[in-house]
Amino acid sequence: MLQELRRIVTGHNADSRSVVVIDGPPARTAGTERGGLFELWNTDGAPVDSTDSVDRADGPVRLVPTSGGTKFRYFAVGPTPEGVTREQQEALMAEFFAEVGSAHHRVDTTRHPAMHKTPTVDYIILLKGDVTLLLEDDEVRLKPFDVVVQRGTNHAWVVNGDEPALFIAVLIDADIRE
């Protein structure tokens, strides 16, 4: 499933003609042993130069975009392996969130070790799998092609069954008010 991920990025050549600039797999990945993040494109709030050849996703993988920026990615969530304790899950999640620069976004993991809260508005589509979206006081079971608009709430994704889930998401830096 994940080896087939492909991105096509367009731009302009020296004659201002539209061309394909990138045609290949995601630029960077993180946490693939547990699911993972697969970077497709990032913006940083600066004007877009469609004539450059810079791969905006080819940098350190971070969970959230920079100030004023966006992130476009696939992400996968694996099922919880049998026999893994709550303490082991906490350690794995702490390690993953630290790896992507977001240890501080794990504000309350009381309900689930993967709970996190980011200052973003996220547009998320479940492409494959059976997943439950956990919130602090609610939950909803998702099926493929369900769309979630995540507005800076503490949440986690939990796979039902033994097959990994695949999502696509756009994360937008936001000034979240509660």
- The answer to whether residue 19 sits within a structural domain is no
- Could you read off the pLDDT tens digit of each residue along the chain, which spans 178 residues? 566 899 999 999 999 999 999 999 999 999 887 789 999 999 999 999 999 989 999 999 999 999 999 999 999 999 988 899 999 999 999 999 999 999 999 999 999 999 999 999 999 999 999 999 999 999 999 999 999 999 999 999 999 999 999 999 999 999 998 8
* Contact between residue 148 and residue 124 where contact means Cβ atoms under 8 Å apart: yes
CA dihedral 165, 166, 171, 177 (to 10 degrees): -20
Domain membership of residue 116 as a residue range: 29-45+56-173
Share of the chain above pLDDT 90, in %: 90
134 vs 129: CA distance, rounded Å: 16
Residue 6 inside a domain? The answer is: no
Which pTM does this prediction carry? Answer: 0.92
In a domain, 21, yes or no: no
Report angle CA 36, 41, 46 to the nearest 5 degrees.
135
Count Cβ neighbours within 10 Å for each residue of 45-58 and write b for 16 or more, e otherwise.
eeeeeeeeeebbbe
Does a structural domain hold residue 9? Answer: no
**H or E element that contains 148:** strand 147-151
Count of CB atoms within 10 A of residue 31's CB?
Answer: 21
Tokens representing 68 are 């004023």
CA distance 135 to 79: 18
DSSP tag of 94:
H
pLDDT tens readout for residues 13-60? 999 999 999 999 999 999 887 789 999 999 999 999 999 989 999 999
Taking the C-alpha atoms of residue 61 and residue 100, their distance in angstroms, rounded to an integer, is 6
Residue 108 has a CB neighbour count (10 Å cut-off) of: 11
The letter for the amino acid at 106 is: R
Which pair of tokens denotes residue 69?
């920026």
The answer as to whether 2 is a domain residue is no
End-to-end CA distance of the chain: 38
CATH of the domain at 168: 2.60.120.10
Does any domain span residue 4? Answer: no
Indicate whether 36 belongs to any domain: yes
Residue 50 lies in a domain: no
Total number of domains constituting the chain = 1
The pLDDT of residue 34: 74
